[in-house]
Amino acid sequence: MADIIKTATRDAYGKALVELGNINDKVVVLDADLAAATKTGMFKKAHPEKFFDCGIAESNMMGVAAGLATSGYTVFASTFAMFAAGRAYEQVRNSIAYPHLNVKIGATHAGISVGEDGASHQCCEDIALMRAIPGMTIINPADDIEARAAVLAAAEYEGPVYMRFGRLAIPRIFDEDYKFEWGKAVVLNEGTDVTICATGLMVNEAIEAKKILAEQGISAEIINIHTIKPLDTETILASAAKTGAIVTAEEHSIIGGLGSAVAEAVCEGGKPVPVVRLGVNDVFGKSGPAVELLHIYGLDAQNIVEKAKQAISMK
């Protein structure tokens, strides 16, 4: 059996920025004194004339990004998710999204898997915050291949984009020839008994859960939701109609994230089915090894299995 390749999506972000810098003179990258952690240091080394360190002043960085965007540049503004979505929320809303500027926010270190940095840095509310901003697109890739493709696609998209990347190295799911489709969910495996809609690092856990469920005679359909806003409601509703039950899995609060978006879509679709949400249950995180924390907070394959059984029982 081939070795499993594990890479953090933040690494793919840094490498993709270097690629963009090689082919697009209008791409500039900003960081808030975290270039080593966000991996924008790769871009800084390759293209120092197009890299700007704004210091520990994230709100100001978003204003600088807005100014550069109005001058015709495609701007990637990078920092931890807690600071990008939390500290700089007002500037993202009013200076970037309101005028619909061409700024791409590279938010790394999202979710519980930040690990030892603890609750102050484990942002599990960022998707909810960004979903509420009109015109904001939200991308949460499942592995390094999808992350690279998403960054390249974001550079071609006109308007604000929030891209969510992780610190933890996670298994590669896709092949090198993977094609990223803007706003289109990916059906990874077909099934008949329950639909599992997953995003980010939870996609791999959903794949593992499907194997466990299959051993128990349960057929699960796995959907990778890389674009949380706008949501691919057509694919989700078609799967819901086929299986009659949905589980959502995300490394984010169950409030306002993928689970909320899917539940809204299913209810508004006219043929509601049970939707069981798996995520962080309205609590703060805590410091500890990332993998252990994911298990502590139930963000793993076994918990997806239990949620799938619960959803099926509710049909």
Catalytic residue set: 58
- Backbone dihedral angles phi then psi of residue 274, each to the nearest 5 degrees: -60, 135
Query: Torsion angle, CA of 32/37/40/41, rounded to 10 degrees?
Result: 100
> What token pair was written down for 234?
């057509």
Residues 6+ apart with CB under 8 A from 213: 193, 194, 219, 220, 305, 308
C-beta separation of 287 from 115 below 8 A: yes
Residues 6+ apart with CB under 8 A from 223: 185, 186, 187, 188, 195, 196, 197, 198, 235, 236, 239
Q: Using CA atoms, how far apart are residues 187 and 239, in angstroms rounded to an integer?
A: 9
Q: Using CA atoms, how far apart are residues 278 and 240, in angstroms rounded to an integer?
A: 17
What are the C-alpha distances in Å from 249 to residues 95, 122, 199, 227, 234? 32, 17, 7, 14, 19
* Max CA distance (Å), the chain: 59
C-beta separation of 5 from 169 below 8 A: no
